[in-house]
Amino acid sequence: MKLSNKNVIYLICSLLTMVLILSGCWDNKDINHRLLPVSIGVKKVDDQYLVILNIPVPIDGSMETKIVSAKAETVSKAVDTISRNMESDVDLLHVKLIFIEKETAEDGINDIIAGFMRSRDVSPKALVAICDEDLQEFFNNIKINAEKKGLSTYNYFEKNAGWNPDIALTRVWEVFRGIHSYTHDVAIPLIRSGKDTTMDQIGSAILKRGKMVEQISSNETLLYNVFKGESGNGKMEVMEHATVMLLGSKTDNIGRLVNNDAHMESLIKMRVVILETKGEPSLNLIKEEINTLISERYNKLFTKLQENEADVFGMGQFFRNQIPRDELKNWRSDYFKNMKININVKIDIQNEGYLKTT
């Protein structure tokens, strides 16, 4: 069957169109010509941002760490300056950790987080941490540890590696949500470089609307993680008559308004195993000690949060259908600050063994 000239022209045009569509990634850069930082540090200096990149570089079968920095009016501009001065293009898509200096966090990180979310150069799932020392010194120490001891910074926050239940895990999108939410703030890990380890965890920074307003301890961070539903597995608690290890926990919360005052009932269910005992304590005595310990810590933490009007537990979420929308913006000051909280702890000891029951 012969094709007419008209059909031939149509066929040729279709083939040319397909060639243009299937031309491939013509503007793609080879991976050998891209630099993939694993972490980024941001510090505000006067009206500019100092940006530091931690870039792993494979050399002769081994991995070395390169620390580069630049200063500019915006974070994106600083990254562009670094990329311009490097032999390869800088790609932030694989950044896993964002470190922000404590002084910068106290002034507010709204613009930094908004820039990351808007540009989409950094994944919104990247973890955020506050650095309680000079940022340049911190990154230099990371480089030394990585080269001499082969330690990975990201493994510190990885659940399948070195993460511990008293370390907060907060991502870029969660910080962004906290900045714009009426009823939810965030806790961010507060770290500094260690002498024998890559980092020392010294607690968590409490961010209210993107600004650091308070600091909590590691034990208080554990309560924060338990409330969020993060696993507390493996955490040990030493008491007067026993040492126990936490296997798991679950928190049930009920919020209600009484005469326009917020009331919260929280039931914390904890599964533990007994590791050691002193003397011959009874089962009820051990449960009572755990109950007292956890309740006192929670009450102390809630008092601190209420004083700073920072709802990191997101308790306002339980009242969103009870408070009018136009009043939710005052949740922290009008409701959360004076909220009545009743904490109940239910302990399930998995290995009762030869303990007394009375």
Task: Indicate if 266 and 208 belong to the same structural domain.
Answer: no
| Residue 8: inside a domain | no
Residues 86, 56: one domain? yes
Q: Are residues 115 and 194 in the same domain?
A: yes
Mean pLDDT, residues 170-183 taken together: 93
The dihedral sign for the CA sequence 29, 31, 35, 39:
positive
What is the pairing mode between strands 34-35 and 89-90? parallel
Across residues 70-83, what is the average pLDDT?
90
Residue numbers of the domain that contains 306:
218-351
Interhelix angle 110-119/75-85, nearest 10 degrees: 60
298 with 324, same domain: the answer is yes
Residues 336 and 197 in one domain: no
| Domain-embedded: residue 49 | yes
pLDDT class for 99, splitting at 50, 70, 90? very high
- Considering the domain boundaries, does residue 1 fall inside one? no
Whether residues 340 and 209 share a domain: the answer is no
> Which of residues 199, 216, 233 is at a domain's end?
216
Quote the radius of gyration of the chain (alpha carbons, Å).
26
* Cα→Cα distances 212→20, 99, 102, 171, 201, Å: 52, 14, 8, 16, 17
> Looking at the domain assignment, is residue 278 inside a domain?
yes
Does 99 lie in the same domain as 241?
Answer: no
User: 306 and 208, same structural domain?
Assistant: no
Q: What is the pLDDT of residues 218-251, one digit of tens each?
A: 888 888 888 877 766 666 676 788 888 888 888 8
Instruction: Please check the confidence at residue 199 and state whether its pLDDT lies above 90.
Output: no
Same domain assignment for residues 160 and 282:
no
What local confidence, expressed as pLDDT, does residue 111 receive? 92
Percent of the chain with pLDDT over 70: 85
Q: Is residue 189 part of a domain?
A: yes
Q: What are the two backbone dihedrals, phi and then psi, of residue 242, each rounded to the nearest 5 degrees?
A: -160, 160
Same domain, 65 and 182: yes
Out of 216, 231, 250, pick the residue that ends a domain.
216
Binned at pLDDT 50, 70 and 90, residue 8 comes out as: low
User: Which of 262, 286, 268, 265 shows the shortest CA–CA distance to 351?
Assistant: 286
User: Could you tell me which residues are beta bridge partners of residue 273?
Assistant: 245
**243 within some domain:** yes
* Per-residue tokens: 272: 């533990």
Confidence at 356, pLDDT banded by 50, 70, 90: low
In a domain, 10, yes or no: no
**Does one domain contain both 187 and 225?**
no
170 or 194: which carries more pLDDT confidence?
170
Asked if residue 182 is part of any domain, the answer here is yes
Q: Do 315 and 179 fall into the same domain?
A: no
Give CA–CA dist 47/64, Å, rounded.
Answer: 33
pLDDT band, very low/low/confident/very high, at 176 (cuts 50, 70, 90): very high
Domain boundary among 216, 249, 281: 216
CATH assignment at residue 271: 3.30.300.210
Q: Is the pLDDT of residue 355 over 60?
A: no
HSE, side-chain direction, 13 A CA sphere, residue 168:
32
Q: How many domains does the chain have?
A: 2
Higher pLDDT, 24 or 160: 160
Q: Which amino acid is at 82?
A: I
Q: What pTM, to 2 d.p., does this model score?
A: 0.83
